[in-house]
Chains A and B, each alone.
Chain A
Amino acid sequence: MAPRRRREYSFAQAMVALLIGLFLFVFLAIPVFTVIYVAFTNADGSMTLSHFQSFFSLTLMRESFYNSLIVGGMSVVISSIFALPLAYFVTRFQFRGALLIQTLGVLPLIMPPFVGATAMQLLFGRSGSLNLVLGDWFGINLPIMEGLNAVIWVEALHYFPFILLNLIVALNNIDRAMEESAQNLGASGMRLFRRIVFPLAMPGYVAGAALVFLKVFDDVATPLVLNVTNILAAQAYLRITSIGIDDPIGYVASVIMVAASVVALWGSALALKNRDYATLQRGGSSLAVKKLKPWQAAIAYGWTVFVLLLVLSPHVGILLLSFSRVWSFSVIPEAYTLQNYATMFQDSPHMLWNSALYCGIAASLDVILGTAIAYLILRTRVPGRKLLDFAATSAVAIPGVVLGIGYLRTFRDFNVPFTDTPVASFWLIIALAYAVRRLPYALRSCTAALQQIHVAMEEAAQNLGANARRTITRVVVPLMAGGILAGFVTSFLTAAVELSATIMLVSATSDAPVSYGIYLYMQSIAGRGPGAALGVVAVLLVAIGTYASHRMVHSRAARLEVQNPVNDI
């Protein structure tokens, strides 16, 4: 009998895939390729490398390039210095630090570094609190906040938890049998740690380090707030906004940033490729936990408290700043006031509203796209589904500034239907940029949620009479709800503190979201107080949102306790 052609996907699935593909094509692929295209072509459209030549012939650009690498690399180094001992204490000793680690994990999420940067100047700058005290007592002045140091210091303090958390997960995943068999063969102490434990945890460390590098490389707002303009992201922004949308140097800077991100991600992907070999076997237990000796406990808790104080310093700083009337050349503010909050609430209700609107749109779009893509990848055979996954995920490698420049260039010639406003300066474009930038995280969350659901759950529904659509609405989505909610909240909150693309795309103050508002305030001495107040309000809102969603997701998970007896014989 002739083989029958198997129907591998439905029309509806193909249409959904096509729509998602179209969205990613228009709002991710075209803008990014436009940027690359402009960097490599002359005004008449012919291919050229001359823009790169002129880029590297400019002293400022060369300097910016090196500075970006230095800032990214040194941030990783400083972050590692903070993170490594903490990860070691937490995983190897009976150490009461779970709550602390959780707190450290969410702190970078709820407040981006640029918000606290001004406060960090006041605390650690040349005439900041720390140096005033040190100068009084010992007559020394630490150049923590001088030039690039400032950027490195602020970024490292914010982002080191990415290394910490990845490292802890990696260390906890190492099967105790790995360690015990090494001991059984005669290895112990530092030698055991160096030869067995650390190599096994290496992929986790590299993943965290790549993430830190990426975040720092990508960050345009922190250097600008700290008045450091000779790094790539800042130069890309300044060239486009001051010289113009046609200046090729900005595009060259963008292309270099994309390339650096891709290399960092590629490195981490390489490191993660073989990581399964070390993971915990079923029924295995993780590394042996030792009791701390008193002197060890002193060091461990001492270091932890020290790091925690540093991590909290920007938060405490903006809190103080938001209540201060004047704060300069003094350890703490000299006079307190509520005026900053009054000013802020007078100026910025529309910013809060804008943020809620943009982030709401972005997060909704993200979970819809994320759920759809996850379903297409894991449950259908629609052609091109892998490409969708790749395209959606690749947004991670595109710095916000670059995406912003791409949008400005691509959409400047199109008007919003029925109006004279170019799409590039329409507020919705900000929300779309957020959606594209946060989609990888939402997608990961949705994919993980769907992977948890055994296919038999869906087949059982179909077997009992539910068609494909009813199976999705009655079984798949309810079971994914936790993951979808987590994806929504992550997208929403991280979009709320996004500034890299925002700074490129906000065309009118009336369209500005909170993050841009804080940035604007921080530009002037007089604006610092209200800016800090807005920062405090934003951080509080974000913190409440994070906490509430954690509670919801956890109570849900506890209630459902999805059981998929893994039992394939």
Chain B
Amino acid sequence: MSKVSVRFENVALAYGPTQVLRDITLTIEPGEFFALLGPSGSGKSTLLRVLAGFAQPDAGRVLVDGRDISRIPPWERDIGMVFQNYALWPHMTVARNVAFGLEERRLPRADIDRKVAAALQLVGLAELGVRRPSQLSGGQQQRVALARTIAIEPKVLLLDEPLSNLDAKLRVHMRSELLALQRKLGITTIFVTHDQEEALSIADRVAVLDQGVIQQTGTPMQLYDHPVNRFIAQFVGTINLFDGEVTRANGQATFVSTGLGRVAVAADAPANGRAQLAIRPHAIRLSGDESAREADRIWLEGTVIHREFLGEFVRYVVRIGDAELTADEPHYMGGRIYEPGEAVGAGIERAQFKLLAI
């Protein structure tokens, strides 16, 4: 099967007064495992439905393999979609469900039977073709939905929150199975999720949507390390943000804020004026003992006001001036634990700063 690209060009869509998608332009490379990540109501599912043909954009084009498909009805698009609630037809057996798309394509019976068996084999349900969907577990139903979609060998595979109906353990398991299957088939896959961990862990690239706008597109690591704005910074992972101002003098840039005081930043930081300094909680080191502080960190004096034990690490909230800082300390048996109320120094590593323009 040849791999195809998908391209959205200036796609916009409104439901009444609500603008759901605004000027979306996005290219998904052939064979890519691509995630659309965003909070509920961000428009990510709608974008998927535009591609599948269930939502008509008010403006813009959708190209699959370079061909505009905007005017093709859903049933002629050859874009397979796995629905969030699986949408298995209860009046048909598992095998009839999987055969449906092949029957609609008027394939010879023998081919249909062969392809159904192969698809069920692929998802590990070869034995269950005679069952009814209601006789299967949630995880099995999901595999059937997947088998039903890949049986027609679609050009593009769409997965709409495919894991959200599974329990936590199964979700992690299915996640790696989905990835393995996608790698095996090599099919261009778009995956919608509101779970950043899910998106970061399996996608080649991720587009983060908020309020109908793509905020950033990139590899999971790019999103995490180089968020382009406050939304991305806060949505992908946990982060500390400080409001302040960047001033320049003699080729040196300085970030000034009430909480952190003056902090020297890289010269190529965003232009003068209001900005935000962002730093991940695990890039902050806590220390009570002044003599044991590394000099390459900026040390700020504060008070622990809250502590949360999360297993791998302990999450502290430290009050510094009138700012609050979240810091994650790795946890080892016998490690130093700070009590709420205890005075503590928070060491921020210069290399881990990120300045965001407002």
Could you tell me which A residues sit within 8 Å of B by CB distance?
Answer: 1-4, 6-7, 454, 456-457, 459-467, 470-471, 474-475, 478-479, 481, 559-565, 567, 569
B176 interface residue (CB < 8 Å to A): no
Please count how many residues in chain B sit with their CB below 8 Å of the partner chain's CB atoms: 45
Q: Closest CB of chain A to B116's CB: distance in Å?
A: 13
Contact between chains at B79 and A463 (CB < 8 Å): yes
Q: Closest CB of chain B to A369's CB: distance in Å?
A: 23
- Selected from A4, A454, A456, the residue in CB contact (under 8 A) with B57 is A4
**Residues of B contacting A560 in the complex (Cβ-Cβ under 8 angstroms):** 90-91, 134
Contact between chains at A456 and B84 (CB < 8 Å): yes
Instruction: Give a binary string over B59-83; 1 marks a CB under 8 Å from any A CB, 0 the rest.
Output: 1100000000000011111111101
Most chain A CB within 10 A, of B53, B89, B145, B152, is at: B89
- Selected from B80, B83, B165, the residue in CB contact (under 8 A) with A456 is B83
B196 interface residue (CB < 8 Å to A): no
Q: Within B119-173, which residues are at the interface with A (CB < 8 Å)?
A: 132-134, 138, 145, 148-149, 152, 161, 164-165
Contact between chains at B134 and A561 (CB < 8 Å): yes
**Residues of A contacting B84 in the complex (Cβ-Cβ under 8 angstroms):** 456, 567
Most chain A CB within 10 A, of B10, B59, B85, is at: B85
**Residues of B contacting A475 in the complex (Cβ-Cβ under 8 angstroms):** 89
Contact between chains at B194 and A567 (CB < 8 Å): no
Give the CA-CA distance A460 to B100 in the complex, in Å: 10
Contact between chains at A463 and B60 (CB < 8 Å): no
Contact between chains at B81 and A460 (CB < 8 Å): yes
Q: Closest CB of chain A to B63's CB: distance in Å?
A: 15
- Selected from A1, A465, A561, the residue in CB contact (under 8 A) with B90 is A561
Contact between chains at B105 and A465 (CB < 8 Å): yes
Contact between chains at A464 and B56 (CB < 8 Å): no
Give the CA-CA distance A262 to B190 in the complex, in Å: 54
In the complex formed, the residue of A with least CB distance to B195 is A569
- Selected from A454, A479, A561, the residue in CB contact (under 8 A) with B85 is A454
In the complex, besides A457-B89, A467-B73, A565-B165, 14 extra interface pairs with C-beta distance below 8 angstroms are: A3-B58, A6-B58, A460-B88, A460-B145, A462-B73, A463-B75, A465-B104, A465-B105, A467-B75, A563-B134, A565-B86, A567-B85, A567-B165, A569-B164
Could you tell me which B residues sit within 8 Å of A by CB distance?
Answer: 10, 12, 40, 52-54, 56-60, 73-81, 83-91, 100-101, 104-105, 132-134, 138, 145, 148-149, 152, 161, 164-165, 194
7 interchain residue pairs of minimum CB distance: A464-B101, A465-B104, A456-B87, A460-B87, A1-B59, A462-B74, A561-B134
Contact between chains at B75 and A462 (CB < 8 Å): yes
Contact between chains at B104 and A466 (CB < 8 Å): yes
Give the CA-CA distance A459 to B80 in the complex, in Å: 11
Could you pull out 21 A-B pairs where Cβ atoms are within 8 angstroms? A1-B59, A4-B56, A4-B57, A4-B58, A456-B83, A456-B85, A459-B81, A459-B87, A460-B83, A463-B74, A463-B77, A463-B81, A463-B149, A464-B148, A464-B152, A465-B78, A470-B75, A481-B91, A560-B134, A563-B88, A567-B165
In the complex formed, the residue of A with least CB distance to B78 is A465
Given contacts A463-B80, A464-B100, A1 and B10 within 8 Å (CB-CB): yes
**Residues of B contacting A467 in the complex (Cβ-Cβ under 8 angstroms):** 73, 75
**Residues of A contacting B74 in the complex (Cβ-Cβ under 8 angstroms):** 459, 462-463
**Residues of B contacting A7 in the complex (Cβ-Cβ under 8 angstroms):** 56
Contact between chains at A465 and B87 (CB < 8 Å): no
**Residues of B contacting A463 in the complex (Cβ-Cβ under 8 angstroms):** 52, 74-75, 77, 79-81, 149
Most chain A CB within 10 A, of B52, B80, B84, B87, is at: B87
Given contacts A454-B87, A565-B86, A464 and B60 within 8 Å (CB-CB): no
Most chain B CB within 10 A, of A457, A460, A462, A471, is at: A460
In the complex formed, the residue of A with least CB distance to B40 is A569
Contact between chains at B58 and A470 (CB < 8 Å): no
**Residues of A contacting B40 in the complex (Cβ-Cβ under 8 angstroms):** 569
Contact between chains at B100 and A565 (CB < 8 Å): no
Contact between chains at B56 and A569 (CB < 8 Å): no
In the complex formed, the residue of A with least CB distance to B73 is A467
**Residues of B contacting A459 in the complex (Cβ-Cβ under 8 angstroms):** 52, 54, 74, 81, 83, 87
Give the CA-CA distance A479 to B88 in the complex, in Å: 12
**Residues of A contacting B161 in the complex (Cβ-Cβ under 8 angstroms):** 569
Q: Closest CB of chain A to B197's CB: distance in Å?
A: 15
Contact between chains at B164 and A567 (CB < 8 Å): yes
Contact between chains at B149 and A464 (CB < 8 Å): yes
**Residues of B contacting A464 in the complex (Cβ-Cβ under 8 angstroms):** 75, 80, 100-101, 104, 148-149, 152
**Residues of B contacting A569 in the complex (Cβ-Cβ under 8 angstroms):** 40, 161, 164, 194
Contact between chains at A479 and B89 (CB < 8 Å): yes
In the complex formed, the residue of B with least CB distance to A466 is B104
